[in-house]
């Protein structure tokens, strides 16, 4: 195997030597340095190292610096350029002249807990997203909404203005108890709408009534139903009154209910196929809503020969009257 020419070997050696010299000449980055804050002019701060050289501090994104005249600090450097330090961290290292230990301790604590703008932005975004998620979950789930309101209730002004023993509180709790006596099993949102209460206000008074043993509640899926002490608490949910709120019914369910209402006296009810064609929907969806309306106690079936007639129950007539009354009362 032929050896490389002499001039090629000399060129390679020269390149290697130059590379070593460049590496040795490059500014090394000290992991830790000690320096002192110096204000060279109003609003201009520099760091003075042990050799008395001044360096312009360049903090990395997210690092917050708190300069103070004469304060000795330790810095962690990521890069050293001519007259400039790139700083990744900074901490207080010693007592400076003219400052009491108490002042320095306070400054150290402040610097330890100083938050950069990016960190604060991330924290704010996280908190906002968390609260938004809780709001979305609790909006449709009444037990969750009630738990959140109870947790926040300890900081509420209602404990003072409408708490136990106050005239305003006694009045609102009397309204609630009277309403539940007339409408046992009404769920939380229905109570709020009927009595025009705020969510937190309703939960606040219902919680007091529960502690006093005057009302109790039972979870019904995503609903929270309330009953007075006159209703047997040991009864199964299926045997308890569960009034239906019109706001719970879908558009298709309301159309099915309307078809039952508008059915002529003595005429057979339309079949599921006929009803699906009339409502321009599927037979499966009509069947689902008919079964649901029956389970909710709004309609019932009566056999008439080979056909099945559907009629409103007492609860169904009450609900339909509540639906049409606002419409008929409009000018």
Q: Which two tokens stand for residue 237?
A: 């949910």
Q: What span, in angstroms and rounded, lies between the C-alpha atoms of 230 and 150?
A: 25
C-alpha separations of 262 from 198, 285, 317 in Å: 37, 20, 12
What CATH architecture does domain 246-328 belong to?
Orthogonal Bundle (1.10)
Domain ranges, ordered by start, for the chain: 33-114, 139-239, 246-328
* Residues 6 or more apart whose Cβ sits within 8 Å of residue 198: 192
Q: How far apart are CA 143 and CA 80, in angstroms?
A: 59
Look at residue 39 and give its three-state secondary structure.
Answer: strand
The answer to whether the CB of 70 falls within 8 A of the CB of 98 is yes
Q: Residue 8 is encoded by which pair of tokens?
A: 């090629």
Q: How many CA atoms lie within 13 A of 221 on its CB side?
A: 5
CA angle 156, 158, 163 (to 5 degrees): 125
- Residue 175: partners with Cβ closer than 8 Å, 6 or more residues away: 195
- Reduced to 3 states, what is the DSSP secondary structure of residue 155? coil
> Is-above-0.95 flag for pTM?
no
DSSP 8-state class, residue 286: H
Q: Which residues does residue 44 pair with via DSSP β-bridges, in sequence order?
A: 41
What is 139-239's CATH topology?
Arc Repressor Mutant, subunit A (1.10.10)
Q: CA–CA distance from 9 to each of 6, 12, 14, 18 (Å)?
A: 5, 5, 9, 14
- Mean pLDDT per 10-residue segment, the chain (331 residues): 48 55 47 79 80 82 79 80 77 56 49 44 59 55 82 72 87 93 88 88 93 93 90 88 72 84 78 87 87 82 77 82 57 47
What is the per-residue pLDDT for 71?
A: 84
The per-residue DSSP string of 164-182 comes to TT-HHHHHHHHHHHHHHHH
Q: What is the pLDDT of residue 171?
A: 94
State how far the Cα of 48 lies from the Cα of 70, in Å rounded to an integer.
Answer: 10
Please report the pLDDT score of residue 135 as a whole number.
Answer: 56
Predicted pLDDT of residue 160 = 75
The two domains 139-239 and 246-328 share their CATH topology (first three levels equal): yes
Tell which residue, 65, 62, 59, has the closest CA to residue 39. Answer: 65
Long-range contacts of 77-82 (CB under 8 A, 24+ apart): 77/29, 77/30, 77/31, 77/32, 77/33, 78/29, 79/29, 80/27, 80/28, 80/29, 80/30, 81/27
Q: Spelled out in words, what is the top-level CATH class assigned to the domain 33-114?
A: mainly beta
- Smallest CA-to-CA distance from 221 within 246, 238, 204 is with 238
């Amino acid at each position: 195997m032929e050896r490389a020419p002499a001039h090629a070997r000399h060129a390679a050696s020269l390149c290697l030597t130059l590379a070593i010299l460049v590496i040795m000449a490059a500014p090394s980055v000290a992991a830790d340095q000690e320096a002192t804050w110096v204000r060279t002019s109003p609003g201009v701060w520099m760091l003075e190292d042990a050799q008395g050289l001044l360096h312009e501090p360049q903090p990395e994104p997210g690092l917050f610096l708190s300069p103070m005249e004469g304060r000795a600090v330790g810095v962690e450097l990521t890069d050293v350029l001519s007259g400039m330090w790139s700083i990744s961290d900074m901490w207080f290292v010693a007592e400076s002249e003219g400052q009491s230990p108490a002042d320095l301790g306070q400054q150290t604590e402040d610097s330890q807990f100083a938050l950069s703008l990016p960190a604060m932005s991330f924290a704010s975004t996280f908190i906002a997203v968390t609260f938004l998620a809780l709001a979305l979950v609790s909006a449709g789930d009444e037990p969750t909404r009630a738990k959140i309101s109870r947790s926040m209730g300890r900081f509420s002004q209602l404990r003072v203005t409408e708490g136990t023993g106050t005239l305003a509180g006694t009045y609102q709790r009397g309204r609630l108890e009277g309403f539940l006596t007339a409408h046992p099993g009404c769920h939380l949102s229905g109570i709020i709408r009927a009595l025009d209460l705020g969510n937190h206000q309703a939960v606040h008074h219902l919680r007091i009534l529960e502690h006093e043993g005057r009302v109790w509640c039972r979870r019904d899926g995503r609903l929270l139903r309330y009953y007075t002490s006159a209703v047997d608490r040991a009864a199964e949910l299926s045997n308890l009154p569960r009034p239906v709120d019109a706001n719970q019914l879908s558009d298709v369910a309301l159309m099915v209910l309307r078809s039952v209402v508008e059915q002529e006296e003595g005429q057979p009810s339309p079949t599921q196929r006929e009803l699906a064609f009339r409502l321009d929907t599927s037979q499966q969806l009509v069947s689902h809503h008919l079964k649901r309306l029956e389970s909710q106690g709004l309609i019932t079936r009566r056999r008439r020969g080979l056909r099945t007639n559907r009629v409103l129950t007492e609860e169904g007539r009450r609900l339909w009257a509540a639906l049409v009354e606002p419409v008929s009362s409009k000018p």
